[in-house]
Structure 1
Amino acid sequence: MKRLFVLLLLVLVAGAWAGQMMVTDSGYVLLAYNNTTVETTLWVFLVGVFIAFILLHLIFNLIFNTRLPTGRFRHWRAIKKQQSARRNTLKGLLALSEGEWSKAQKSLTRSAENFDLPAINYLAAARAAHENGDQAGADELLKKALKSTPEASLAVSITQAQIQVSRGQLEAALANLLKLRRKQPHNKQILSLLADVSARLHDWQGVADILPDLRRSKALPQENLNRLERETLLHLLHKQKTPTAGGSTPEPEQRVRHLQSVWVSMPETASSYDDVVAEYAEQLITAGDYKAVETLLRQRLETRWSETLIPLYGLIDSTKPRKLYQQAQKWLSVHEQSPGLYIALARLAAKCQLWSEAVGFYEQSLSIDPDLDTCAEFARLLQQLEQPEKAMQVMNQGISNLTAKLPDLPLPKPALKAD
């Protein structure tokens, strides 16, 4: 509409100028050939030339089915516009990669209409506008992208979700992504974004529901997928420690059944994560299902040894502790350098009231790994055995090992002892 108005204005100005020139000076044109002469005014001559041009153009179109150079001129202009759009698009994409958001938004938006794929320009310009803090501009550019290329609705929606996540609009992004997943259930980008948003919202059950599709579609690198799965399973198990809404604590048997149902619902890969198995085993121990813990840990340790899990074997209560003690001793022939196994043996020896053997196993564990918790556990036993000096020596050893890891800082000089 604006262009038409400007065109009409120019025509009116040109007409007024031409009329004024005609009144001021009509001009004179003389054409002569052999004995023939033609005299006319300049303005009549120009009108005649224009009419002849139009007639010639029509004759060529109707008779010879060809065009005068005006069509070529339009084609040349169109090519020039496309080349200019490509240059501006390239400048905009380079500016986007260099973090020059305003320049990128301006170049990409200006060249979008004449570019072969305008949606690309609008989507990139929307990212630039978002990075520049222009939220309204980003939303408007996304609308233009969808309007220019309706078949790019998926790409527009994914970009919108990414921008929403970056803005912190997690609930809106989640709703958007769930809607997209119903349409494209196996899209890698949608699954990856949905897992990220669900984790940020601490919706760990939601993440767990997505994990099988993430694994099948390979939407994440294997290392990242394993890390996400491990974190999700740990959070789901930690949640079982939280009291119910009424604040009541379930009975041990009820808690054990619930824990086992949660564990069974987890993927088979759950047993490959030591800390996940350890969390499940610790909760079973707390609930008092020692038989299930013993079976779980024994089968897992015989399949794959774990320094995280073996100390828990020593925490199992049993009416026949010597049976557990003998089982742990069998492992000693294969894992004689395992500090965790010596801790388990020391605990089981204490349950069997084999005090001297328990002391020996604690000393063996500390000789391999001087852990502070082990020092405290060993010192408590020594106190009960009426060996306070040795208990203090063990604790001092643990504290010395701990302080050796502290940063090197200036310390005051020790106070002089009085004679």
Structure 2
Amino acid sequence: MFRTIFLFVVLGLGLFVGSQYSGQQGYVLISFADKTIEMSVTTLVIFIIAALAALFFLEFILKRAASMSYNTWNWFSVRKLRRSRRYTNEGIIKLLEGDFKHAEKKVMRWANHHDKPLLCYLIAAEAAFSQGDENKRQQYLEKASEQDDSTLAVGLTKAKQDIRAKNCELAFDTLTTLSGQFPNNTLILDLLKGVYIELKLWQPLIDIIPKLARDKVLTKQEADSYLIRAHSGLLEDVAQQQGSEGLVAHWDRLTKKLKSDPTLITAFAKQLIARKADYEALGVIKSVLKKNHIEELYALLPEMNLSDRHPVSQFLLSAVKKDPNNAAAHSALGQLYIRDQNWTEAQKHLEQALEKRSNVSDYAYLADALEHQNLNQAARDVSRKALTLVK
């Protein structure tokens, strides 16, 4: 457009000048080597305008030809892109349908022409993994990692597949590297949560739970449950590595809220018993049961290896006197009387426990007490009741 206006302006100026100086055309001489060209000024102006017009026209023709070539090439490229996208979409559907072999073929057929080949390689890696072809899976993941901005997507895909294959150590390495590069990615932390549990890495699990709760990945109830599980596991690790003294020291460092949790108290007492610190465990259990009713702690009392079980029996008798409906205390008493071979008292307390709630173990203990009193028919009846609970 600009060139056309320019030509018209030049032509107009030429006409204006020509009209002003009509009859006075002037004289132009061009000489080079042994040749000379003579013409009037008017002829020179017309020649220049014609030359410019020819030049502009030639430029137009060349641009039009280039544009047609580009459009033709672009048409083929767009056609290939559309076909690649169509095959990729079909491959995703095949993957969801469980047809992994055809899913792999579909997405890889035109992957080189896709505008996001990373997607094709990741889908192919998933299809290969689902077919159990580890070599192809690694090849596709390597090709995917060569694409731009692929680190996170490739890492997460690999980690998820390793977790499903129970290769938690490999998933741990991948996710640990990713967490350093993407510290605020909650999906990485959520996957690490599962890996930490599988590998029993309790302290790292404790460290990430608050962030998962803040980011709404876990509800408060779920976060509390994971924390209790992690702290229970950590108690076991400390007990194995540092013994009962280290376990008690670790317990003392816990928060008041944690030390009041029934599950954690039970775990602490179990670890003391496992480390042969039964009297220390007894002191913990008695102090807790005086304030709270925790059935799991009552169940630990008969398991203790004590030189004198009389204090335990007296404590339990005091508990059932205070609360005759305390089934857990009656059950524990019954088990202690079985150890002392006091079958009558054992029968009495076990029957009282079963009146309050059904329990397979109590039925088995009661059947044993009845057999030792030669009450065989009653023992068989009790055993049948226990079998109905198992079913």
Structure 1 pair 260–184 and aligned structure 2 pair: CA distance change class (3 A): farther
What is the TM-score when the length of structure 1 is the normalising length? 0.61
Q: Once the 2 structures are TM-superposed, how far is the Cα of residue 145 of structure 1 from its aligned partner?
A: 2.1
1:400 pairs with one of 365, 384, 388:
384
User: Structure 1 residue 131 and structure 2 residue 130: aligned?
Assistant: yes
Q: Once the 2 structures are TM-superposed, how far is the Cα of residue 340 of structure 1 from its aligned partner?
A: 1.6
Q: Secondary structure of the residue that 1:185 maps to in structure 2?
A: coil
Q: Once the 2 structures are TM-superposed, how far is the Cα of residue 91 of structure 1 from its aligned partner?
A: 1.0
| Residues 365-416 of structure 1: CA deviation (Å, up to 9, x unaligned) | 1333454543565688889xxx9346x5664443232344577xxxxxxxxx
After superposition, where does 1:18-417 map in structure 2 within 5 Å? 58-60=58-60, 68-149=67-148, 151-219=149-217, 232-239=230-237, 255=244, 257-264=245-252, 274-284=262-272, 287=277, 288-289=279-280, 290-301=282-293, 306-312=294-300, 325-326=317-318, 328-332=320-324, 336=325, 338-344=326-332, 360-369=348-357, 371=359, 373-374=361-362, 388-389=373-374, 395-404=379-388
Provide the aligned length of Structure 1 versus Structure 2: 327
Identity of aligned residues (%): 26
1:23 paired residue number:
none
Task: State the superposition RMSD in angstroms.
Answer: 4.5
Q: Once the 2 structures are TM-superposed, how far is the Cα of residue 293 of structure 1 from its aligned partner?
A: 2.0
User: Where do 5+ consecutive residues of structure 1 fail to align?
Assistant: 1-54, 245-249, 408-419
Q: Once the 2 structures are TM-superposed, how far is the Cα of residue 94 of structure 1 from its aligned partner?
A: 1.0
Structure 1 pair 129–81 and aligned structure 2 pair: CA distance change class (3 A): same
2-side partners of 1:267 and 1:129: how far apart?
48
Q: Secondary structure of the residue that 2:110 maps to in structure 1?
A: helix
Structure 1 pair 345–176 and aligned structure 2 pair: CA distance change class (3 A): same
1-side partners of 2:176 and 2:100: how far apart?
30
2-side partners of 1:280 and 1:56: how far apart?
92
Structure 1 pair 358–170 and aligned structure 2 pair: CA distance change class (3 A): closer
| 78-87 vs 108-117, which moves further | 108-117
1-side partners of 2:255 and 2:101: how far apart?
48
Q: Once the 2 structures are TM-superposed, how far is the Cα of residue 88 of structure 1 from its aligned partner?
A: 1.4
Asked whether the equivalents of residues 93 and 104 of structure 1 are also in contact (C-alpha less than 8 Å), the reply is yes
| 223-232 vs 169-178, which moves further | 223-232
| 281-290 vs 118-127, which moves further | 281-290
| 157-166 vs 365-374, which moves further | 365-374
Q: Once the 2 structures are TM-superposed, how far is the Cα of residue 93 of structure 1 from its aligned partner?
A: 0.9
Q: Once the 2 structures are TM-superposed, how far is the Cα of residue 178 of structure 1 from its aligned partner?
A: 1.5
| Residues 47-80 of structure 1: CA deviation (Å, up to 9, x unaligned) | xxxxxxxx99952167x89965333323333322
Q: Once the 2 structures are TM-superposed, how far is the Cα of residue 204 of structure 1 from its aligned partner?
A: 4.6
Asked whether the equivalents of residues 297 and 313 of structure 1 are also in contact (C-alpha less than 8 Å), the reply is no
1-side partners of 2:216 and 2:195: how far apart?
18
Q: Once the 2 structures are TM-superposed, how far is the Cα of residue 233 of structure 1 from its aligned partner?
A: 4.5
Q: Once the 2 structures are TM-superposed, how far is the Cα of residue 89 of structure 1 from its aligned partner?
A: 1.5
Q: Secondary structure of the residue that 2:87 maps to in structure 1?
A: helix
User: Where do 5+ consecutive residues of structure 2 fail to align?
Assistant: 1-54
Q: Once the 2 structures are TM-superposed, how far is the Cα of residue 90 of structure 1 from its aligned partner?
A: 0.7
Letter in 1 for 2:177: K
Asked whether the equivalents of residues 328 and 345 of structure 1 are also in contact (C-alpha less than 8 Å), the reply is no
| Residues 107-166 of structure 1: CA deviation (Å, up to 9, x unaligned) | 2223333333222222112211222333333223223223222x2211111212223334
Q: Secondary structure of the residue that 2:115 maps to in structure 1?
A: coil
Q: Secondary structure of the residue that 1:148 maps to in structure 2?
A: coil
2-side partners of 1:356 and 1:92: how far apart?
73
Say which structure is richer in helix: 2
1-side partners of 2:319 and 2:85: how far apart?
74
1-side partners of 2:67 and 2:231: how far apart?
75
Letter in 2 for 1:69: M
**Bigger Rg, which one:** 2
Letter in 1 for 2:131: N
Structure 1 pair 310–405 and aligned structure 2 pair: CA distance change class (3 A): closer
Structure 1 pair 389–180 and aligned structure 2 pair: CA distance change class (3 A): same
| 278-287 vs 81-90, which moves further | 278-287
Letter in 2 for 1:175: D
Q: Secondary structure of the residue that 1:113 maps to in structure 2?
A: helix
1-side partners of 2:236 and 2:87: how far apart?
54
1-side partners of 2:317 and 2:69: how far apart?
99
1-side partners of 2:256 and 2:129: how far apart?
42
Letter in 1 for 2:162: Q
Asked whether the equivalents of residues 90 and 106 of structure 2 are also in contact (C-alpha less than 8 Å), the reply is yes
2-side partners of 1:393 and 1:116: how far apart?
80
Q: Once the 2 structures are TM-superposed, how far is the Cα of residue 265 of structure 1 from its aligned partner?
A: 6.0
